[in-house]
Structure 1
């Protein structure tokens, strides 16, 4: 099967070529409600403009990019996570090695679900961590995991050593904490039969299942979760944000935001008990924001419940509950409701006697009932309290326009019950409970100097800090100054204190009143932070980036190789591994690819790649890095775009017909099956028969001048076969020329193709070795193979051929032939893979090179003659199953050796003597690279030998092997394709094993090279 680049690449997992970037205004203030909401415009969902600048981010953007525009805050997540990603590589003064007992999950290129789960080798998925976590351990989820999906937690902690799953983000310098969203898990969570498990600070989406299912579990805390319903609003599936089944108890859902659930935001089933739902913002559910049914001891306190189709809060089936400090807000914000709007707060008759309700507040659209209590509706607090005795401190018409902003002087400020069960010491944003001095305290509780606000949000003093460290960057050591007491706005007029933290591990400066100076001694990127705090505890923080550079530009390096995927190689694609240890100091990277193109590479990238449009040249790649101070450094590497080999199984019988004397045949790309992606050469087997006079065939690229070479020589009335790898024209065509004075019948078979734009096999030559010789029993078969019989030979797993080799290069020799005939070679275990490799007449010795695909490491040889034959097999190499072998450079057929005229011999005209050796230079001439050549692709010919014999070719500088590359008979000009290894000096040795001198030709068709 051919694998063009677009289909074969596995980019989603590697992330090497996927980048995204966006830009926008600097972050200013806290995002308002509309930042999270969809914009409905002419029926089209649109994402509001991102409120924060965004830099290049590969995996974070890829993980969430498909959901932009489908939830209230996923668009915001893309922006926030992009900023996090851009700065995540900046080192601190001292590396964080992690806390003992912490497991890490991070979707980086080097993550592993079978690894140790450390910071150096984190898990790719949360599930991998959940399967091994033990009591007392924390699972840190650092940015989106590579493998999201559903997570099922089945392992428990203890009361003193709970198991914790928590999201972790790097604070983008200069971004307010309220604008940083947690890591996107990209799936759902099930807690099944566990206890003492905490899950916090994760961004979840769900469509056909609940976002979080708590099943048969106890002592579970779900804190600071962001949950969005994905999919169309009119979906029929009623799925909940958090669902607690009836077998669960002691479950807390706190400080979370749950939007647009197709069912309930939080649903508690009958049988559950001791469930706390507190300080959450729950908005836009199609049914209820909180639905409690048959639940004993539910504490439902301090929540902001907005825009539900059903009740904001509903209690039924004999539940007992405390309902305090909640804020119920209006409808009409675009939620598609399946039924008419219900009262905001509903308690069924079977539960009314067991529910305590007080300190709640209502800001509803006109016409909506505030309460349904025991089956009776009440539109105001006064009528409800008078009838039920409940809600003595409830408020209505509080003018609460949005659930996530408490206006100054709102009646919900400092009016809650600070002793309401379950409420934490901080609000949904993590802000402390503070007393607003501009509002008269009307609440109650045991707190000293503070009074809680109703709902999920605590009104804070309006504080800001301006200015930053000066200078903000420079070469270390770098001295900076900060004036923290600059302009600010403190609407409460309380005394302020300032703290300056320079972010390099040095002690923070507290009570800073004037200019503070500091010297950074270690290069790095630091978050200089000033915090202003008023007397009641409200605070604001300003962070600024300080960059301390090294004395010299960051060193740069890169390595380049062909791209490898699943044991195959795309030899026309350069895969670069980049040095990115100092990426925090880099501003930009540019790669010049050597083919007149260039591209920018993210400074955080550890790898990149490039597709070349054509092979056959050596390209110098140049990486230029520019740091934040404008200094540059470069690195170079050489890449040689080449071809990989794909066998065609079964071989394609492409042409069979007659070619007239001295005729020229155009073998088109469609005929040769070379019209696939990026094909540069074809491995052909050509058979000629029926000529009334001898001659030769020449094959060469269509549209080029005919070279003085012969691919196949034949005698009159002789059937002869040979293989050769022929470079094609850019369109994939090949010329075939009949050099005979008579017409001949020709059959052409395409055994494989070579392409620079497809994944295929590479080649690894081995020292030639004999694996079968039926004359002496080598290979386990002794004696001639009878007429019509087959033998099976194991060629892989021995003699340097790996057991999993994809194909093997064999020279098959037939000798002591008792009758005319032919030999067929078949891949054992591969149907329709038979290829006829040799034809002979009685008494003739013939050798032929063939590339045989392998399924189980065995080949089958079948004697199709009417007489017996002795068989010999020599192995020359194998197609690499790992993609790490040599790749192919086809060349225009060129005669590089002719002993008749001195070509390739330094001008010496003489036959190669009996038992003599000549050295043939192969590398560095005739377009072949001077280095890196591992094997030659030649057609070797013995011209009109006086006696029979053989030629052996091997790498110069090594011992001559006991094999034959070409067997020749008396008087017969005999060719054979050979693929000998090339010596480290670029030479191939050729030995004449015959008893008489012989003229020798060698025609070059290509070379195998290592990158």
Structure 2
């Protein structure tokens, strides 16, 4: 009978089985004098006639097995794929012959030593006693067992993965006639055979313990005429057949601590009746001396009809089974599994399938029996939930230089623990007592270059050992710490810093990023060494990147970063261009056909001499001799295929333009016309990194409609209240003049200031004319709307958004680009709402090809909307695409056949970056959208 205890060393744990014929069950390398090495994948040539396998390994396992004939010999198999082999030599109880995989157990992560066969068993022990097969991954695809043992005593199949995929009757692991005292332990067995996951035939004293067995067409464990055997602490799962089948005189069997799960009856598939299948079956010839207890069935109470078959009688519940037989007094259905087994059950091990100690879960009451009442049932123990967080485990280090190795450990069960580092260079383990925060830190210096497999072991007071492995590449100390930080814009107000390219002989331990705005620095691990940050407002900030390596060396580097987005500064409207009188140009005179006006922005009318990124202008075309368009763009760039002001001969047409300023401080206004025209530009405000205000996106709302009150007489002013918007500094308004009785213009300005000599909307009697205006708000939070015309005019004012001091989104100008052009086609149909994709990628329309992408997450977009060839009178409304109903507001009014445009500033839906265009008319209209920038964070 196998009895084991847990022995914990400083760096590792081994399972020692007192009274076992085989000593340690865990994998162990034999003495060099009796070790035979197999490696068919090594860069060193192999040979099956080698005389010294430590230098020239065997190519096949069979050749090494044939050489390992003395008790205590060990065959060590390197990862690779090998043919089947047969063992006929015997060891002794004190010195078994061992065949083991060197890559670890057969169910651990790769690399594996794999044995494959199809026409015979993959591993055969015949007439061989005291032979152990450990740590192999074994596959058999024919009607043979993966492992077959015959005519031997004391053989062990331990810590293997065995899959049998082609058998009808052969067990996955077969303990055949003439064999006795075999042990099948800590294996994972997978089969489709009626012969059983483990099948024994005759003999006595076999132990099948702590295995996970999945068998879909027959029993997981079959004792056939095998006496005095133990089936203990296994986890069994199959589709057809009995879980544990004890038949044909298998008397004095012990069946304890097993978990049977996943069984179901399907006679049409399994070829048997429901009565022939049960969790546990013990026939009449086997009940003598046989006991069953502390088992778990996951089938009781389900559609599965029988849980037990005992002496030819069937029972559907554990209670009925105990009442009739006296067996199964502690059997349960489904739970509890944790801390409920009998630790003294014959064949019970003190470690589980993966070598974990059987430990006490403090969160579960102990209901088991035996010396330790906290063992779990089944093959897998619920172990101490230890978390090992690598704060700094260097993967590169310079030779001869001491460095920090830092981890933070927590024990989920509250047990105390110690730590031990093994650095893989032959040095003694370094033990560490954690501090009160669970930090297990130590200093170590490698003496020689090379690659070393290191490990941290955490040993909890309950015996659980958790490990974290890491590889350290030790290099020559030739690269001093030199911080390298890439600082780039991320969105309008964001910054991204990446210092991962910092050079050093050490790995980086941590990185700290101070973004210069008073926020708490961001600290990351050295393996990440990158961070992002979003500023509350646009501006220029010192970004300090500090790196510390595992050698405790620290360096910093500072970058001056200016956000991509700029804040807005409103001004009292001022005229900075009028070609009629020479303002803003070298000499008065109309702009020639195809001519370009270079308009100076930087330093003009009190603007900063540098750093202005964009400007808000009201641009007017007047006295045109031919139809055409005005296009605004940054000086120094090619003229884009967009338009800002569309005009006809003799018209006065105005439109707001928000345009990027060239690097030289100028913007260009191009006359795309075959005739001459005069240009007028009124300054409304400007954008720069140190501006005062950010943009707030809203769903458009109507503030004023004099058609419901009274028209504005000539020369009169109406005040518009904006005090409902706390902190407002400027408003993004859409102005529409309707039914004027004479020609004139509308001006909006801050309330309380002097009347400006500028205009926002130019109109003729009877016209409906819109225009966007970006206007500063007076100290009392009002703006003035002044009618400088010869007659009264109806005026509609819609609020599209507003600016607030110190907060809000920043503006990022883009190269002007056309994002939508429905021509040729029907355009927007009657009362249609169309979503225009802006954020993230170029929207799916042909005219957008090559347009710059507005980032996903942008809050609003500054654009120009043009209507072409409408078939009926109407108006256009724009709004964020996530708003389901068009608001009571408009941005562009048009007449049948009229080509007209207006600047728009419209919010985007937060998910897809879209805005909606709603055609509120009884006809179709072609629509064009040109984009000049966006507001974002």
TM-score clears 0.5: no
User: Given the two structures, how large is their TM-score scaled by the length of structure 2?
Assistant: 0.44
> Radius of gyration: which is bigger?
2
